[in-house]
């Protein structure tokens, strides 16, 4: 069966990056007159993802994407001068009009004027010792109620916190066992003149709450979630992780952010679901080729089932596999 143009666009850059592995020297730097150096390096990432069923409102029953990103960096350094330039190509293949990627729009809108203040303390992982991380922040300022014209401004008052404590026993596979808790405030009263929903700014989601990209079910906004995570190294150049989390809305009358579902009455409760995920990473060639795969399953809770009603499709499964090539 002949390859489609979409498949060809996906295969060609990945194949070229892999072919470059045995031919490119470990360092691409060249010396120049005057004691300087010029280095050309590249990075290619390819990642296949599948989500089924789709949990978001208004989209198709499932989602598939092959995300590709290639960057070339030229860096020149002299004793008193340095220069760096980068070319970046990023695209998504195999997706359709119902894909999350198809709905991404970059606009410049004056919809917020908020400041975030945060602090973080931690102890790194060491064998036979307790490790921990505590991070917390508050937001103050003004944010817009939707994108009406003219904009209606609300007082913004929100917070978030992340805490984890772990222990790394001196055992084979070097495990680290973590207990975690995340909370990000939601808007408790959608009818007042305040907005209490924490804004993660820039759309960033904590990796602690699960995979991102077309999955991205749980953002750092209007959630409360305890969990347990275990990381370990089953073999040289291998890393693995399994995690379990229970997700609830911090404010039952606010939205499940990113899903399109909301019950302004609060009658649907706050239970979003229980998520089980795992991943494995193989550093196949040191600093050159990394291969990763992972999956997640969320057993949907009362809120998701009740607000979706007849549109509820079931509990979603997500799978991804990808590679990263440095050349």
Provide the pLDDT for residue 108: 42
Provide the pLDDT for residue 299: 98
- Are the C-beta atoms of 56 and 260 separated by less than 8 Å? yes
Kind and range of the H or E element at 304?
helix 302-308
- Are the C-beta atoms of 62 and 74 separated by less than 8 Å? no
Q: Which residues pair with 45 in a beta bridge?
A: 69, 324
- Are the C-beta atoms of 104 and 145 separated by less than 8 Å? no
Q: How far apart are CA 13 and CA 17, in angstroms?
A: 6
pTM score of the predicted model? 0.85
* Cis peptide preceding 60, ω within 30 of 0: no
**Half-sphere exposure of 276 toward its Cβ, with a 13 Å CA cutoff?**
3
Q: What is the CA radius of gyration of the chain?
A: 23
Provide the pLDDT for residue 25: 43
- CATH code for position 154: 2.40.160.100
Angle 69-296-314 (CA atoms, 0-180°, nearest 5)? 115
Virtual torsion, Cα 14, 19, 22, 26, nearest 10 deg: -50
Kind and range of the H or E element at 158?
strand 153-167
Provide the pLDDT for residue 24: 47
DSSP-derived secondary structure letter, 235: S
Provide the pLDDT for residue 7: 57
Provide the pLDDT for residue 106: 41
**Segment-wise mean pLDDT, segments of 10 residues, the chain, 327 residues:** 55 60 53 76 94 93 92 87 87 80 47 86 97 96 73 90 97 97 95 92 65 91 97 97 98 95 96 98 94 97 95 96 94
Q: Show the DSSP H helices in the chain as ranges.
A: 5-20, 302-308
- Are the C-beta atoms of 254 and 158 separated by less than 8 Å? no
- Which token pair is 178? 């973590």
Domain hosting 44: range is 5-326
With H, G, I as helix, E, B as strand and everything else as coil, classify residue 35.
Answer: coil
Question: How many residues in total does the chain contain?
Answer: 327
DSSP-derived secondary structure letter, 251: S
Q: How far apart are CA 193 and CA 145, in angstroms?
A: 9
Cα 276 from chain centroid (whole Å): 16
Angle 215-219-225 (CA atoms, 0-180°, nearest 5)? 110
Q: How far apart are CA 279 and CA 284, in angstroms?
A: 16
| Domain count across the chain | 1
Provide the pLDDT for residue 26: 47
Provide the pLDDT for residue 37: 87
Q: How far apart are CA 281 and CA 101, in angstroms?
A: 25
With a CB cutoff of 8 Å and minimum separation 6, the contacts of 25 are none
């Amino acid at each position: 069966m002949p390859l489609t143009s979409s498949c060809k666009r996906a295969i060609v850059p990945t194949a070229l990056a892999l072919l470059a592995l045995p031919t490119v020297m470990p360092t691409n730097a060249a010396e120049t007159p005057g004691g300087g150096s010029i280095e050309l390096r590249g990075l290619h990432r390819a990642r296949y993802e599948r989500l089924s069923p789709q949990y978001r409102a208004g989209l198709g029953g499932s989602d598939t994407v092959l995300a590709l990103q290639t960057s070339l960096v030229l860096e020149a350094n002299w004793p008193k001068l340095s220069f760096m330039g980068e070319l970046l190509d990023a695209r998504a293949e195999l997706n359709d009009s119902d894909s999350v990627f198809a709905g991404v729009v970059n606009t410049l809108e004056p919809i917020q004027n908020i400041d975030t203040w945060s602090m973080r303390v931690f102890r790194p992982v060491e064998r036979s010792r307790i490790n921990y991380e505590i991070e917390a922040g508050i937001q103050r300022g003004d944010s817009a109620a939707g994108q009406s014209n003219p904009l209606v401004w609300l007082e913004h008052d929100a917070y978030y916190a992340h805490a984890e404590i772990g222990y790394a026993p001196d055992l084979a596979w070097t495990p680290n066992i973590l207990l975690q808790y995340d909370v990000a405030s939601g808007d408790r009263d959608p009818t007042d003149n305040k907005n209490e929903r924490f804004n993660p700014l820039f759309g960033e989601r904590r990796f602690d709450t699960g995979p991102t990209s077309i999955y991205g079910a749980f953002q750092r906004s209007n959630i409360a979630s305890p969990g347990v995570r275990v990381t370990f190294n089953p073999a040289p150049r291998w890393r693995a992780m399994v995690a379990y989390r229970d997700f609830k809305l911090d404010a039952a009358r606010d939205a499940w952010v990113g899903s399109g579902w909301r019950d302004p009455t609060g009658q649907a409760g706050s239970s979003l679901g229980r998520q089980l995920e795992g991943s494995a990473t193989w550093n196949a060639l040191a600093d050159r080729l990394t291969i990763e795969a992972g999956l997640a399953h969320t057993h949907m809770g009362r809120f998701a089932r009740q607000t979706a009603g007849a549109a509820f499709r079931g509990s979603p499964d997500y799978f991804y596999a990808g590679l990263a090539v440095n050349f």
